[in-house]
Chains A and B, each alone.
Chain A
């Protein structure tokens, strides 16, 4: 499947075709039209980036400067490091990071492994009831979160998991979409390779680990990136099951910070910058995989 970002690399032959097509239109539109187009794009980009620029600017200002009447994008003094230190002293950001790292790492590793196992099972084995079970998995794919949130809360409550990080981990270990995505990719693994491993005497788990997983690495990476980002950013579910201060995740901590110290705009924005840094870094590093993932999915970004 050709997708948004990979097109940059894949479209060399196609690029000529585009040139040929667009030439009459482009010369007809003329240089003025092109200038107008870029002007609109620049304005649009400014609107898209302004909130983030405003965020960095506020995070770097001294507190008095955040409430002055005049518009000042460039801070008089650059105090981002100082504001960060103050934010980390005001609320236990390090604790929030620790909790988020534990939850996100566990969910990401667990989800990739369990979805890969189930995807492999549905793609490459035959047993009675397989198709029925796969249909059951698919049927849960389109269920909106708010339909299950109350009974899910009750399950977690009855298990005694409220105010326990386990409540953020276990329900997220498998998603129907993850199983579906990896099954589609596992179907593409040649069965001959799997059989060859068996003939060489490899056990079934070993075949899975040494043959199947390496061959489906791109799909595993895509699922891992998505899981990482959505788990790190998750707010609603943690809001319901975690109330203890020392168990807050980064989004919960940021929201709590906002509610308690709303007037410390500079520290708030500095904390928010650090809070979004992990997902932003992952996005920058894996931009191509991420955008590909978006286009072959429907999961929220």
Chain B
């Protein structure tokens, strides 16, 4: 652009074109690109937000894996949450999507009902489920009274608290993945099913040999997105248990939040966020690899 010669009108058009992108680019650089690079750097420092960051090399990473049992524990808690939630959510979402992909009466009504919780915010969902889980007045109490028992301490017992959060998350998120599966199903051309009809395939064969393989891109997308999302669960845990009781629901985002914004250990929390990033990237690549080789 610095060459000196007569400019064509097209040149000036493209100067305008570049100018159109500048505001968005500046904002993304300041609020996305720079923070990522900075997070990497802060992870190698000790910093309490006041003063200057002190470079301490790999110390944060060593602390995480050697000196601080809370980190590995929260990794395990997050993994249990993800494993407890996702497979059952995929199964229900896929089953409903298959069902709603067929012609049936009241399809639109049912589909809307199963999708509705997606529109409820995490804050409102947590408030509502707090009432449901309440052991004296909640639905929990009413159901248990039917069996002649007192309400279960769902949120107050470390045995059940994570399970309660999983149930809430399942209710809130399932419809979202159902819609992603439905979109995938509707991208499968009818031609394949017509060909299968000609060959006399039964409905199980059609599902196994046409629907499932052709749905693979959507399935992969659902798996990647849902796992990324479940490693970032925060609001219901923050509002309902604060990571308790006794750390039973202290997932990684909760631990990062505590270290950064309660203990002001910015360096240590950043290092943990980097590990979260690495885990999510690794999981995504692993899934892409496993399922790509499955298809191809």
Contacts and interface: CB of A to CB of B under 8 A. Distances in A.
Interface stretch (B56-64, B82-90, B154-162, B186-194): B186-194
A295 B182 contact: yes
A254 to B, nearest CB: 6
Nearest to A236: B234
B68 interface: no
Nearest to A232: B121
Given A117-B21, A137-B28, A148-B35, A240 B15 contact: no
B36 A255 contact: no
B239 interface: yes
Interface string B225-253: 10011011011001100000000000011
Contacts of B173: 301
A14 interface: yes
B18 interface: yes
Given A125-B13, A140-B28, A148 B261 contact: no
Contact of B114 (A44, A54, A272, A275): A44
> Taking chain A's interface residues, is the majority helix, strand, or loop, or is none over half, making it mixed?
helix
Name, among A18, A66, A198, A295, the residue most crowded by chain B CB atoms within 10 Å (CB to CB). Answer: A295
Contacts of A298: 221, 225
A169 B22 CA distance: 18
Contacts of A144: 228, 231-232, 276-277, 280
A114 B19 CA distance: 11
Nearest to B136: A67
B153 interface: no
Interface in A2-54: 2-5, 7-8, 14-15, 17-22, 25, 37, 41, 44-45, 47-52, 54
Nearest to B276: A146
A104 interface: no
B163 to A, nearest CB: 16
B81 interface: no
Interface string A144-162: 1111111111110100000
A125 to B, nearest CB: 3
Interface string A255-267: 1001000000100
A279 B131 contact: no
B49 A157 contact: yes
Interface residues of A, number: 105
Interface in B105-134: 108, 110-125, 127-132
Contacts of A140: 28, 32-33, 36
Given A146-B253, A265-B131, A118 B179 contact: no
B21 A118 contact: yes
Nearest to A295: B183
Contacts of B216: none
A242 interface: no
B187 A235 contact: no
A230 to B, nearest CB: 9
A149 B113 CA distance: 34
A298 B195 CA distance: 32
Contact of A51 (B132, B137, B145): B132
A114 B24 contact: yes
A233 B122 contact: yes
Given A143-B32, A269-B127, A295-B179, A179 B24 contact: yes
B27 interface: yes
A98 interface: no
A301 B234 CA distance: 15
Interface in A73-131: 114-115, 117-118, 120-122, 124-128, 130
A152 B225 contact: no
Contacts of B113: 45, 48-49
Given A251-B124, A301-B173, 14 more contacts: A4-B100, A4-B182, A21-B193, A67-B137, A125-B17, A126-B17, A144-B277, A148-B32, A150-B42, A151-B36, A235-B123, A258-B130, A280-B119, A298-B225
Interface of B: 1, 13-18, 20-21, 23-25, 27-28, 30-36, 38-39, 42, 49, 96, 99-100, 102-103, 108, 110-125, 127-132, 136-137, 139, 141-142, 145, 171, 173, 175-176, 179-180, 182-183, 186-187, 190, 193-194, 197, 203, 221, 225, 228-229, 231-232, 234-235, 238-239, 252-253, 256, 260-261, 266, 269-270, 273-274, 276-277, 280, 284
A-B complex: 5 closest residue pairs judged by Cβ atoms: A125-B17, A295-B183, A118-B24, A233-B121, A151-B35
